[in-house]
Amino acid sequence: MQLNFINTLPCQVNVTYRVTDKNGDLSIKANKYEFVQDLEADQDIFASAFLENADCGGYLQFNGGFSTGEVKLGKGGGTKGYSILITERENELTITRLNNEEQLDKSDTGDPSVA
């Protein structure tokens, strides 16, 4: 399984994820993405995002909500993957799975791919 983390913010964001066989941390630069491959997730997938401070690139000001806390994102396995969006809603940092019904496939090379 693959997790595609997409940072839509104009500042760096830090992400922590937890799946069945692996836990990890990522730092994602402004308006960039990172992906993690070869995960096994027969249990629930959890992720959280946080900012170093409330000033996001001089563009957004977060009102004390610059950590999402741990969010349950669902289950997955095999060659499937999820795209996870990190964004802002009402001056609060938000992390959400992009698609609620179907997982996104990944290409043969492992790069993110919309089926």
How far are the Cα atoms of 27, 42, 45, 83, 115 from residue 6, in angstroms, in the given order? 11, 23, 16, 7, 17
Query: Which tokens sit at 65?
Result: 């909500």
Q: Mean pLDDT over all residues of the chain?
A: 78
Domain extents in the chain? 2-105
Q: For 54-104, what is each residue's pLDDT tens digit?
A: 777 666 666 666 788 888 877 765 567 788 899 888 777 888 887 644 555
pLDDT at 79: 60
2-105 is a CATH 2.60.40 domain: yes
| Rounded-to-integer distance, Cα 104 and Cα 55, Å | 32
